[in-house]
Structure formats: structure tokens, C-alpha cells
Structure 1
Amino acid sequence: MTHNIPLSPRPLSHLTDAPQHRVLTAGALREHGITAAVAGERCRPGGPWQLLLPGVYLLHPGPPTSDERLHAALLYAGGECSPIPAQQGSSGRTACPAPTGPALSSVVPSGLSAAGHCPPPHPPKAMITGLAALTLHGFAGSPSLRALDRIDVLVPRTTRLRSTGCVHIVRGQSLPDPEEVTGLPVAPVARALADTVGQLTDAGVVRRLLVESVRGGHCEAGAVVGELLRARLLGRPHVRDAVDVVVAESRALAEGMLYEMVFRHRLPDPCWNVDLRLPGGPHLGGVDAYWPEQAVALELDTRAPRPHLDQDAQWSEYARKREALEGLGITVVHLTPGKLRESLQQQAAIVRTALMTAVEREPAEYLIVTPR
């Protein structure tokens, strides 16, 4: 018997027969016993595979699906995507490939550990952002994934990658925690919006996307403005104008939910949108609702970051007003649009409790209430 007889190639059916797992890196292919020469041979014109991106292979002929393009973009950037089934050994247990680089984290089944199983993967080093992320988050105003000729991928600033093919590399000084959408790491809405707006010059498109983020309940206006501020985009006139619209839209939506809370849960009618002041004294500030008999004031927190005032300063400004009112015996209830959206009933219970316990408190100072 000679020892020079080459080993039979390992079957590839466990890869190519699974449509959801037909994108692999060169490193992952090596873990399955497929050399670069074999992969290159299969990617020749008319062959069964394609080199979709540098080091990333599509294991079937024909155009890639939208899902495959997203997975390929993440694999190219060293991120994670769905686990790839490894070849089973004689015991029938799924073999665990030994990861040797960032891209190989995609082939390690998540959630497995202990004897004979794979350790949990590291946090993603890349995530989908930009228009593709907005589409995945369900934005009606963003194009379909199939219509996108470019997929933005957010990576750390120190990552040494270049944009290529359909992949556009977006570098960030600090990366947010990704959200999992259809099994993929995706940038949160506010960050994806900032990465999108930074590449757009059409004022109408910018405004539509920003307004939809708030109107569609995807995120709060403050989070959007904060990301735009950190990205230094508020200096652009069309972005600044769109932000003014978004803040006004957020305010109107929050007020609508507040009215609904009061009427649906049968709270006493307050004085809406009023200014408070001491007789002959200073102006104390405006509140969204005020119940004079119970001395309860309600304020919606729809603050958005401003370029000339940092977050701590804005909070101090709000805290000073609240402290002044409470010093006069006024109970201040603080609500956010997010809390109202999550549970009107719970927020109504908080307001009702403040109104019912008014008899247990010392009488408040007399205030002049005027329309705002």
C-alpha cells in the first residue's frame, strides 16, 4: 500500500445544500478542508462558486440574494453572521471550527460552551449601518435591500479595511451596541440615521428620514439629535432645518399622547400649556399641564441636545426649575415620550397618585397661571 495516494476531497453538500449558509470566508473554507486553490478553481467562469468580495465566497452561481449580500459585507468586515454547520464526525456531533481570525467568528455557533462545544462568540466588530440598517429597522422611506447598490458597514476606526464592491466602510471612534435584526448586528436607529445623513445632500430625503424616525416610533428625537451633534452634522443648514422639524414633530406627538392619557383614563382636566409665576415675582417657567387645586405640574421631557449647551448644562437647567417649583410646594411629574408610548395606563396611575396625595401635603404657594 502506498502512502502517496491523495486523500479524497471532503463532500461539500453540508455547505451548499443549506441556502441560508452559502456565504463563507476563505478562512472558514479552510476549516472545512477547502484550500484556496480549490476555491479558486470553483470560482472560474462557469463554475459553481463566485468570489463575492475579497476573501468572501458565494457558494452558488447566479446573483446573491439581499441576505447573502448583507452576510458577505459583514464577513468582509470581520463581523458576525449566522453560524455555518460544520462537517459531522463519526459521533454525529457538530464539529466546532477553531477560529483563527475575526471573520471566522461567523462560523462558530453561538450559545455553545463546555465540553465538545464552541465557546460563545466575541461581540461583533462590525455592524450594518446607513440606509441598509434603516431598511432592516423597517423604515418606509428607505430603499429596499435589493435596490441598494451599497451596504454601509460600521467598524472601529482602527480597522484596516477599504471599501470595495458593494461594501462601504464607515469608521467610528466609538461603536454603539448593535441591535439584532433578522439575526444580523445592526446599528441602532439614531446611529444609522447619522451615518446616512452624513452622506446625503438632498434636504427632502434627510427631512423625511428624520421625521419618520420619530413619527414611526423608531427612536426619540433627543437620541437622533444627539447622534447628529456627535457626528458634527448640525452645522449643515439642511440638517439643522430638518432637526427643527423633527423636534417640533416629537413635541406634537408627545402632547397628543398626553391628551389621550388624560381623557382615556379620566383624569381631572388640567390647565394645558401654561406659564407659572409668583404674584409680583419672577417667572417660574412653563409646564405642559397644571392642576391648580392639587398643585401638581406635569412636564414632558422633549429636550434635544443643543450645540451651544452640553447635556449636563441642559439637565441642570431643568433641575433648577423643578427645584424652584417643589420649593413652593408644587409636585412636579416628569414624563418622557418613551414612557407615554410604552404604557399610558402606568403613567396615568403616576399622575393620579400625585393628585390623590395632594391632601396629605402642605398647601402650596399661590401662583399666577397664564396661557403659554
Structure 2
Amino acid sequence: MTHNTPLSPRPLRHLADGHRRVVTTAQLRSHGVTAAGLSEQCRPDGPWRELLPNVILLHPGPPTAEERLHGALLYAARAAEPAVPAQPTADSPHRPLYADAVLTGLAALALHGFSSAPPLPALDQVDVLVQRPRRLRSTGYVRVRRTPALPDPRTVAGLPVAPVPRALADAVAELTDAEAVRRLLTEAVRGGHCEPAAVVRELTQAKLLGRPHVVDAVDALLAEGRSIAENRLYRMVGEYGLPDPVWNVDLRLPGGPHLGGVDAYWPDHAVAVELDTRAPRQDDDALWSEYARKREHLERLGITVVYLTPKKLRDFLEQQAAVVRTALMASGDRDPAAYVVVLPR
């Protein structure tokens, strides 16, 4: 046998299970399928078809939604072929490892479970993130999106998927329907997928906050996020036995200037809680300066200010309750605070 003698094709049965019905031409070559053999299999009435350039569907019918996703990743993955474990187990089945390709946009949101995203079979296009220097064009149903650095993907249904904030930004970049944008952003927060600040950070980096319909959706998102954070704060006080504060009040010096509003205030302890719901927008520095000035002014009057973030209230509610309880207990060791007038906000 010479080096030009074609190899006998290896069995392809293990490549035809589930999503492995989508393979690359390089994988087929590694199993002994020649160019002529591939052309024969992919003839119009043949058993295979070309799904995307160098990506083959090992059956003649239309691809399933799952096969379209795997096909998009196979197309976008680097030339190094996805590895298949030599000895698959129940915990480690045959799953391709996609090098430097991550699903994003509406497809990623659908995988994350967003009810406001179209179902996967209804998507005309699948967005895939790749690193910017790569020469790879959008083709067929695959839209290639370049980024300086790939986000750390989440694994959903065996697929590398962009985190929700990044997937949202990539989806919003293609949407002009204001209501669709608002629904997606609101579900991100209401569904507990992420905090508003993370979404706004990604939208800012993508330079999307200049679009009026996106700005309106962000305002609704921030209002939704604040409402959820306030509910968590109410729950924290009740569940962890903290004394009842007065809620959402303005503080003023008697006959003097307005000191600022706080989300909760314990007059007998001179302790205030304020929710830090700032979002990373262009005016962030100015807003933080305002927070800092208010805190400094109140603490000069002997009032302890505790800042709580929505994320900490979501993930570490008991710990935040302990922070507030400590501030309340320490009030007896401090000099009496200045008298302030408490008014509804």
C-alpha cells in the first residue's frame, strides 16, 4: 500500500448519535471519507447535506434546532477540531469542545430560558462570538460577531453560551422593536438572571445607550431592579427579626437644609440604609460623588449610613442582615446623633 492509497472508512455510527449528526469535513476525512465520497453522499438525493461551509449534516432532512446550534459552533470554532472523549461515560457523553466560539444574542437567551426570546426553531439567525482578529464571515444562518475578548461562557445543554448581560447586549444591538427590548431587559432582572448594573455595563460598552428606545428600556430596567431590591430589603428586615424602620424617608435638619433621602431609617438608633442601585453610566462619577457627600454629611451628624447593593441582597441576605444588626447594636456606644426631621419621601 502506498501513501496515496485511501484509508478504509472508519465506522461513522458514533458520529450519528444526537447532535453528532453534525460534523466537519475534517472529522469525516479523519474517518477515511474522501472528497469524492463526500460529494457522492451530499448529492441532491443523497443521505447527507452541506449545512454550512465545511459542516455536514449526516441526514437528508432539515436540521433540528439543536443541530443548527452545533453546526454554527462547528463552523465558527478554530481549525483545531473539537475533541471527542475516547471513553464516553454517562457523565461525559460525546460532546464537542468548541475552540474560541460562543453562542450569544437571542439564541443564547433562549438557551438561558428567556420566555421573551423567540424559541430556537423560530430564529432565522444564530449569533456566534469569535475573537476579532479571526477571518471568518457570516454565512447561511450564522451571524459572526467579533469581540476583542471572548466572555467566559456558561455551559447550557452542552453548549458554550455567553453570560446573560453579554447575550442581552448582542441581542439588543440587532433589535429595533422598543417593546421587545424592554421585555428582554425586564425579564433579565425579574427572572433573577442578573442585576441591572451588569446589563447597563454591557450596553454601555456596546455603545447602545445612544439609542432612544434602549435608553427608555434601561430606565424601565432600573426601576424594576430598584423595586426588586426594595422587596428584598423588606424581606430581610422581617425574616431576620430586625426592628421595624421607617421606610423611604427624607431627612432634614430642623429649619435647615435637606440632607437626602434614605430607603430605611431607625430614628432611635440613628442608622440609615440606602440601596446602591447606581448603574455604570456616563454620569456614574457625579452620582457617586453625590452619594459620598450625603454619607459624609449624615455621618458628621452622628447618623450611620449602611449601603446595600441589590446583588448582595440577592446572594447574601443573611450576611447583610448581620451588617445592619451590628450597626444598630453599636448605636448605644456612640455619642447621640443630631436631631433630624423625618419626612415621607
* Contact 2:12–2:31 (Cα < 8 Å) also in 1: no
- Identify the match of residue 135 of structure 1 among 110, 118, 122: 110
Question: Are 2:326 and 1:356 equivalent residues in the alignment?
Answer: no
CA distance in 1, matches of 2:52, 2:285: 45
CA RMSD of the aligned region, Å? 2.6
Pairing of 1:200-349 with structure 2 (within 5 A): 200-279=175-254, 281-307=256-282, 309=283, 311-349=284-322
Structure-1 residue corresponding to 2:39: 40
Counterpart of 2:147 in structure 1 is 172
Per-residue deviation, 1:73: 0.5
Residues of 2 paired with 1:137 and 1:76: CA distance?
22
SS at match of 2:313: helix
2:50 is aligned to: 51
- Any stretches of 5+ residues in structure 1 without a counterpart? 79-101, 113-120
Matched letter for residue 29 of structure 1: L
Residues 282 and 36 of structure 1: CA distance in aligned 2, closer, same or farther (over 3 Å) = farther
8 A contact 2:106–2:118 mirrored in 1: yes
Give the equivalent residue in structure 2 for 1:13: 12
Counterparts of 1:36 and 1:368 in 2: how far apart (Å)?
84
How far does the alpha carbon of each residue in 1:90-109 deviate from its partner, in whole angstroms, 9 at most, with x for none?
Answer: xxxxxxxxxxxx24342254
Deviates more, 1:249-258 or 1:2-11: 2-11
Q: Does 1:22 align with 2:33?
A: no
Distance 1:122 1:15 in 2: 16
Question: What is the deviation of 1:219?
Answer: 1.1
Distance in 1 (alpha carbons) for counterparts of 2:206 and 2:104: 14
Deviation at 1:8, TM superposition (A): 5.7
Aligned equivalents of 2:35 and 2:267: distance in 1?
A: 78
Q: Post-superposition shift, 1:17?
A: 4.2
1:190 maps to 165
> How many angstroms apart in 1 are the aligned matches of 2:62 and 2:331?
68
- Tell me the residue number matched to 1:107: 83
Hey, what's the Cα distance between the residues in 2 that align with 1:201 and 1:369? 45
Q: Distance in 2 between matches of 1:338 and 1:138?
A: 21
Amino acid in the other structure paired with 1:340: L
Kindly state the Cα deviation for residue 356 of structure 1 after the two structures are TM-superposed: 1.9
1:151 shift after superposition: 0.5
Q: Deviations over 1:297-343 (max 9, x none)?
A: 11111111333x2x455444433333333343322222122222224
Please give the per-residue CA displacement for 1:79-131, whole angstroms capped at 9, x wherever unaligned: xxxxxxxxxxxxxxxxxxxxxxx243422549x9xxxxxxxx99942211111
User: Aligned with 1:322: secondary structure?
Assistant: helix
Between the aligned partners of 1:274 and 1:8, the Cα distance in structure 2 is 80
Once residues 39 and 98 of structure 2 are traced to their aligned partners in structure 1, the CA distance between those partners, rounded to angstroms, is: 31
Cross-structure match for 1:199: 174
What SS class does the counterpart of residue 80 from structure 2 fall into? helix
Q: C-alpha separation between the residues in 1 aligned to 2:99 and 2:162?
A: 11
User: In the superposition, relative to structure 1, how do residues 58 and 325 fare at CA in structure 2: closer, same or farther (>3 Å)?
Assistant: same
Q: Which moved more, 1:273-282 or 1:36-45?
A: 273-282
Aligned partner of 1:73 in structure 2 is 72
SS in 2 for 1:51: strand
- Matching residue's letter, 2:234: Y
Inter-partner Cα distance in structure 1 for 2:333 and 2:98: 52
CA contact (8 A) 1:25 1:103 kept: no
Q: Check 1:32–1:365 CA distance in 2 against 1; reply closer, same or farther (3 A cut).
A: farther
| Residue deviations 1:136-171 (CA, integer Å, cap 9, x gap) | 111011111111121011222222111111101122
* In structure 2, C-alpha distance between the alignment counterparts of 1:320 and 1:69, rounded to whole Å: 54
Percent identity over the alignment? 63
Bigger Cα displacement from structure 2, 324-333 vs 205-214: 324-333
Give the C-alpha shift of residue 41 in structure 1. Answer: 2.3
Structure 1 position 270, deviation (Å): 0.8
Question: Is the Cα contact below 8 Å between 1:198 and 1:233 reproduced in 2?
Answer: yes
Question: Number of aligned pairs?
Answer: 337
Relative to the length of structure 1, the TM-score reads 0.82
| 2:42–2:48 Cα contact (<8 Å) kept | yes
Give the secondary-structure state (helix, strand or coil) at the position aligned to 1:287: strand
C-alpha deviation, 1:289, in angstroms:
0.5
Instruction: Report the equivalent of 1:81.
Output: none
Q: 1:364 to 1:105 in 2, by over 3 A?
A: farther
Q: CA deviation at 1:4?
A: 9.6
